[in-house]
């Protein structure tokens, strides 16, 4: 490996983030509990510094390094900006929540940064080894974060379930990747795609590997029937960590699926498209129906996430650039929507009170008309009601599905969205038409209130002009698609 093939500068944001995380890890050892805000400030500075490095190193064309194992293309760079924003929102929204529960510690900051590093590596990976390293760095960080509340039985149980099923998913993915390697004699995504396209691979062995890979993706994405960990982890984990699991990693998962299926295994598009169809339909139906029965808002959002992942898969199964762009748009907007939803839960939470039941939002319109309106925006966007960005995200996916002639699939998706509207509107009904159980003032810092309000208003602003973001993401996807 020469310096030219190494080309480490394309990974400058990841290198900066790694150095910053290691510095915070060491510096936090010398910071007292009373001065933990210093670690918090350093973590936000690390995120800002990483974003600045990304801006400084931005290039419109794809650049490869580390012997073709790492790429800095438009898709990866836009996904990384979304991930940085998602993690920043988690830390800012969760500061007061973490302080009240004794988890405002160095582990929270450093593990969050390592999780972000894993996501960024996943987005830029062009080799199975790099993909797997990024995935495991993300997964192991999240397992440890969920278990941070050692005295909480629910958190420990959630962490164990997450770890066991996550390890199973990782094993399935690794087994599938090894089969594809055996079929193509390569771990490089571009070489694998060329060998399959030129009929120079053992197709039977590669197809077996594809089955294991799609199964592993289903586990990681939380798609039905591999969804059993999602509601328990969301419900048992502290709310700020449920937000972390449910927001930025969805972008990383989209990039992971794109690299594996749309790039490496593009020659088997009809095969994996049919598999994703089954996962998407099951996720839409089961996710929306199960969410109706929930009384916990976090469990409701968990089943809602399952249904939203069904929509994300609908765009991917189209197997074309328009569908991939629609899924990218869906992942990006869902990250913002989920962050706002969990942020609202933490806004109402206080020491000794989680505010994670739907009834905890009773009469919010009387307690705080402004934040009731913000929660209404979040619920309407998730339901896919026009004007809000969630509607246009679903519309973009449905257009991609219809363009493939899969009218029945679009009808199923619309019907499931109508079912989903019920439990979102139930939250709105509770806020505006039920009397409040508590008149306790909402205690939150000004930066939290302002950022959460901007987050929610952004869902409306993007809904008023969705074509700008969609066009940028579509161009990024088009530039990143392999040329065989």
Model pLDDT for residues 34-59, shown as the tens digit of each residue? 888 999 999 999 999 999 999 998 88
What's the whole-number average pLDDT of the chain?
A: 90
Mean pLDDT in residue range 316-338: 92
What pLDDT shows up at residue 197?
85
Does the pLDDT at position 180 exceed 70? Answer: yes
Q: What is the pTM of this model?
A: 0.94
Tell me the per-residue pLDDT of 374-417, one tens digit each, with 9 for 90 and over. 999 999 999 999 899 999 999 999 999 998 888 999 999 999 99
Average pLDDT rounded to a whole number, residues 203-207 = 91
Q: Could you give the percent of the chain with pLDDT greater than 90?
A: 63
Residue 1: pLDDT band with limits 50, 70, 90 = low
Statement: residue 4 has pLDDT above 70: no
Report pLDDT for 101.
85
What's the count of helices (H) and strands (E) in the chain, helices before strands?
Answer: 21, 2
Which helix (H) or strand (E) covers residue 245, if one does?
Answer: helix 239-246
User: Residue 225, preceding bond cis, omega within 30 degrees?
Assistant: yes
Rounded distance, CA 370 to CA 457, Å? 11
Q: Name the pLDDT band for 354 (thresholds 50, 70, 90).
A: confident
User: Does the pLDDT value for residue 214 go beyond 90?
Assistant: yes
Q: What ranges do the domains of the chain cover?
A: 3-480
CB-based burial label for 482 (10 Å; 0-12, 13-18, 19+): middle
CA–centroid distance for 484 within its chain: 29
pLDDT at site 318: 86
Q: Is a pLDDT exceeding 80 seen at residue 443?
A: no
First-to-final CA distance of the chain:
25
Q: What is the pLDDT of residues 113-127, one digit of tens each?
A: 999 999 999 999 999
pLDDT at 91: 94
Q: How far, in Å, are 15, 302, 399 from residue 415 at the CA level?
A: 46, 20, 15
Give mean pLDDT, residues 445-469. Answer: 91
Q: Across residues 60-79, what is the average pLDDT?
A: 88
pLDDT tens digits for 304-315?
Answer: 999 999 999 999
CA distances from 392 to 188, 209, 313 (A): 36, 35, 16
What per-residue confidence (pLDDT) applies to 434?
86
With 80 as the cut, is the pLDDT of residue 350 above it?
no
With a cut of 60, say whether residue 203 has pLDDT above it.
Answer: yes
Q: Which of 41-45, 72-76, 194-198 has the highest mean pLDDT?
A: 41-45
pLDDT category of residue 472 using cuts at 50, 70 and 90: very high
Q: Report residue 96 as tokens.
A: 């007061």
Residue 441 has pLDDT above 90, yes or no: no
Q: What pLDDT shows up at residue 480?
A: 83
Mean pLDDT of the region 328-335: 94
Q: What is the pLDDT of residue 2?
A: 59
């Amino acid at each position: 490996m020469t310096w030219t093939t190494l080309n480490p500068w394309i990974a400058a944001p990841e290198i900066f983030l790694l150095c910053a995380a290691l510095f915070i890890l060491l510096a936090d050892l010398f910071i007292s509990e009373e001065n933990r805000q210093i670690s918090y400030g350093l973590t936000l500075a690390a995120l800002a510094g990483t974003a600045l490095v990304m801006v400084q190193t931005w290039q419109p064309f794809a650049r490869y390094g580390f012997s073709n194992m790492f790429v800095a293309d438009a898709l990866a760079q836009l996904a990384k900006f979304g991930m940085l924003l998602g993690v920043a929102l988690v830390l800012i929204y969760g500061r007061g929540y973490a302080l009240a529960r004794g988890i405002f510690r160095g582990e929270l900051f450093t593990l969050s940064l390592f999780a972000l590093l894993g996501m960024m590596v996943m987005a830029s990976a062009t080799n199975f080894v790099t993909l797997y390293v990024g995935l495991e760095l993300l997964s192991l960080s999240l397992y440890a974060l969920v278990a941070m509340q050692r005295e909480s039985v629910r958190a420990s149980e959630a962490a164990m379930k997450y770890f066991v099923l996550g390890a199973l998913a990782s094993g399935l993915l690794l087994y599938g990747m090894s089969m594809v390697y055996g079929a193509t004699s390569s771990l490089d995504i571009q070489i694998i795609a060329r060998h399959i396209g030129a009929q120079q691979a053992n197709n039977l062995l590669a197809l077996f590997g594809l089955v294991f890979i799609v199964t592993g993706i289903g586990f990681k994405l939380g798609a039905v029937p591999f969804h059993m960990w999602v509601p328990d982890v969301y419900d048992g984990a502290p709310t700020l960590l449920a937000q972390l699991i449910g927001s930025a990693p969805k972008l990383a998962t989209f990039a992971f699926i794109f690299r594996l299926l749309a790039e490496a295994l593009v020659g088997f598009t009809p095969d994996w498209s049919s598999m994703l169809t089954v996962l998407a339909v099951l996720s839409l139906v089961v996710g929306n129906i199960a969410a109706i029965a929930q009384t916990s808002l976090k469990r409701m959002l968990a089943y809602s996430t399952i249904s939203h992942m069904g929509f994300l898969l609908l765009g991917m199964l189209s197997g074309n650039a328009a569908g991939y762009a629609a899924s990218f748009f869906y992942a990006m907007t869902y990250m913002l929507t989920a962050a706002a939803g969990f942020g609202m839960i933490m806004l109402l939470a206080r020491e000794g009170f989680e505010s994670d039941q739907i009834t905890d939002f009773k009469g919010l319109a009387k307690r705080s008309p402004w934040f009731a309106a913000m929660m209404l925006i979040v619920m309407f966007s998730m339901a896919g009601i026009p004007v809000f960005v969630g509607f246009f995200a679903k519309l973009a996916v449905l257009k991609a599905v219809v363009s493939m002639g899969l009218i029945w699939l679009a009808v199923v998706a619309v019907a499931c969205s109508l079912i989903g509207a019920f439990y979102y509107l139930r939250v709105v009904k509770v806020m505006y038409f039920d009397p409040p159980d508590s008149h306790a003032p909402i205690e939150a810092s000004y930066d939290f209130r302002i950022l959460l309000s901007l987050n929610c208003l952004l869902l409306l602003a993007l809904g008023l002009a969705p074509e700008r973001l969609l066009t940028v993401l579509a161009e990024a996807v088009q530039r990143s698609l392999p040329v065989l």
